[in-house]
Amino acid sequence: MEKVLLKNVGKPDSHRIDTYLAGGGYEALKKALRMDTEDIIQMVKDSGLMGRGGAGFPTGLKWSFIPKDPTLQKYLCCNADEGEPGTFKDRSIIEHDPHLLLEGMAISCYAIGADTAYIYIRGEFAFGARRLEEAIAEAYQKGYLGKDILGSGFSLNIHVHRGFGAYICGEETALLESIEGCRGQPRKKPPFPALSGLYGKPTVINNVETLACVPTIISRGAEWFASIGPEKSPGPKIFGVSGHVNRPGLYELPMGTPLREIVYEHAGGIRNGRRLKAVIPGGVSAPLLTEEQIDISMDFDTLAHEGSMLGSGGVIVMDDTTCMVKAAYIINRFFSHESCGKCTPCREGTTWMTSILKRLEYGEGRPGDVELLEGLCGNIFGRTFCPLGDGAVMALRGALRNFRQEFVYHAENGRCMV
Ligand SMILES: Cc1cc2nc3c(=O)[nH]c(=O)nc-3n(C[C@H](O)[C@H](O)[C@H](O)COP(=O)(O)O)c2cc1C
């Protein structure tokens, strides 16, 4: 497939505006500025673009929820927090093709009537934040940002807001709290951000990759985008492959590419000729799949149907040397560390899960620990304030469902089966 999202990555000075313009950059913005804003939203709807941040919500529909009242202040927030372990796709766009993101943001702001946008970037991405600042300065200088863009009457300012390194700040309402200078904790929904978001104003929050799809939809048309991959969740998708493969990295492929093809063809198969044991298909919250399950189409619907999820598309591959108890412990430790503490089931539940997994891993497990873990999962899932706690449960349930005997073995024998 012809690359759309990563096409400039690897070109010399790919982050510079001149490189971007030489490849037809900002032409989509020019076209969009001549269009009716409703037509742009309809086009994004028709393209079938689903948000690439994890939840897979239809982007055009989200934009259409923004009130049309021109006197209301509106905001766009680009979610560049990229906190899900195993996910490293947005960073590549930010560092190597920042103008693709800025153009997508400008079109989105024009469509929803926002004159101010924020890029909430993960605090650790210092280089990326600098690249964005430089790109924004270039865009102002050439008239693609600022007042009366290209004489259209549309004005836009984009600000970079650096986060402080908390996974929860990637959750859209915690992100808004953080931009407002408050502690990053999720808000109660409803009201949804489309009606009351940043500073209580209508706000769209979209992921970096989602916004980076927008210029191509405008320039090539909704039909072209919709023709790539499965009908229900089409378009190009960046899969980030890490773990025990020969060629870890980012692969831009059609949505719906089989997981087996991603692992064995693009990522070069399992390292040292070993056997595949399990794959996490969409960042650590996504329940893992076993070797027998990887002939699966990597798209939102199919993975959900199979009891997992596409999430952010971060594919983590584990070979047969992996102890599932250790993997579950490490993943769970992350969730309990990152639990924001706002709600009890997540704060206490993930802490308990981690301490049980820790004693299993260190040979101090007790009879009944596996049942205790399963009971805890049931007490957390669906009872937390935001999906962070659900993510912790889904990850553990995936491991327990497929490798329960390893957990039992650890509890009974104090060591690994592998
Ligand atoms: C705990 C948690 C962390 C999240 N982290 C991110 C993140 O780092 N980046 C992201 O784009 N979305 C993240 N999300 C999803 C966002 O809440 C939101 O759905 C997304 O930014 C919407 O953009 P999209 O519609 O373009 O996917 C996270 C959600 C949760 C519950």
CATH ID of 236-319, from 3.30.70.640, 3.40.50.300, 2.30.110.10, 3.10.20.600:
3.10.20.600
Ligand 1 center from residue 335 Cα (angstroms) = 15
For ligand 1, atom 2, the nearest C-alpha belongs to 171
Pocket test for ligand 1, best of 50, 84, 210, 388 (most atoms within 8 A of CB): 84
Give mean pLDDT, residues 51-72: 97
Ligand 1 center from residue 140 Cα (angstroms) = 28
For ligand 1, atom 10, the nearest C-alpha belongs to 53
295 has pLDDT over 70: yes
Closest CA to 120 of 101, 103, 140: 101
CA distances from 109 to 132, 203, 414 (A): 17, 10, 56
- Quick one: 46 exposed, middle or buried, by C-beta within 10 A (0-12, 13-18, 19+)? middle
364 has pLDDT over 80: yes
**Identity of the amino acid at 385:** F
* Nearest-angstrom CA–CA distance, 217 and 210: 11
* Nearest-angstrom CA–CA distance, 395 and 388: 11
418 has pLDDT over 70: no
Q: Within 13 Å of residue 151, how many CA atoms lie on the same side as its CB?
A: 0
- What pLDDT is attached to residue 200? 98
pLDDT digits (tens, 9 = 90+) for 113-162: 999 999 999 999 999 999 999 999 999 999 999 999 999 999 999 999 99
Q: Where are the domains of the chain?
A: 17-226, 236-319, 324-413
**Identity of the amino acid at 260:** R
* Nearest-angstrom CA–CA distance, 234 and 228: 5
Fold of 324-413: de novo design (two linked rop proteins) (1.20.1440)
Please report the atom of ligand 1 found closest to the CA of residue 175: 17
Please report the atom of ligand 1 found closest to the CA of residue 387: 31
Instruction: Please tell me the CATH superfamily of domain 17-226, with its number.
Output: NADH-ubiquinone oxidoreductase 51kDa subunit (3.40.50.11540)
Structural contact between residues 87 and 314, judged by C-beta atoms closer than 8 angstroms: yes
Token pair listed for 223: 């039909």
- To the nearest 10 degrees (0 to 180), the angle between helices 208-220 and 37-47 is 110
Name the band, by pLDDT with cuts 50, 70 and 90, for residue 417. Answer: confident
Query: Judging by DSSP bridges, how do beta strands 314-319 and 236-243 pair with one another?
Result: parallel
DSSP state of 270: B
Closest CA to 318 of 213, 412, 403: 403
Give mean pLDDT, residues 289-303: 97
Name the band, by pLDDT with cuts 50, 70 and 90, for residue 354. Answer: very high
- What pLDDT is attached to residue 1? 80
Pocket test for ligand 1, best of 119, 172, 347 (most atoms within 8 A of CB): 172
241 has pLDDT over 80: yes
Structural contact between residues 328 and 411, judged by C-beta atoms closer than 8 angstroms: no
Rg (CA), the chain: 22
Please report the atom of ligand 1 found closest to the CA of residue 174: 17
Ligand 1 center from residue 169 Cα (angstroms) = 9
DSSP letters of 182-250? S---PPPSSSPTTTS-GGGS-EEEEEHHHHHHHHHHHHH-HHHHHTSS-SSS-SEEEEEEEESBSS-EE
**pTM of the complete model:** 0.98
Name the band, by pLDDT with cuts 50, 70 and 90, for residue 165. Answer: confident
Please report the atom of ligand 1 found closest to the CA of residue 56: 27
Centroid of chain to Cα 391: 13
164 has pLDDT over 90: no
Query: Rounded to 5, what percent of the chain is helix, strand, coil?
Result: 45, 15, 40
Structural contact between residues 29 and 187, judged by C-beta atoms closer than 8 angstroms: no
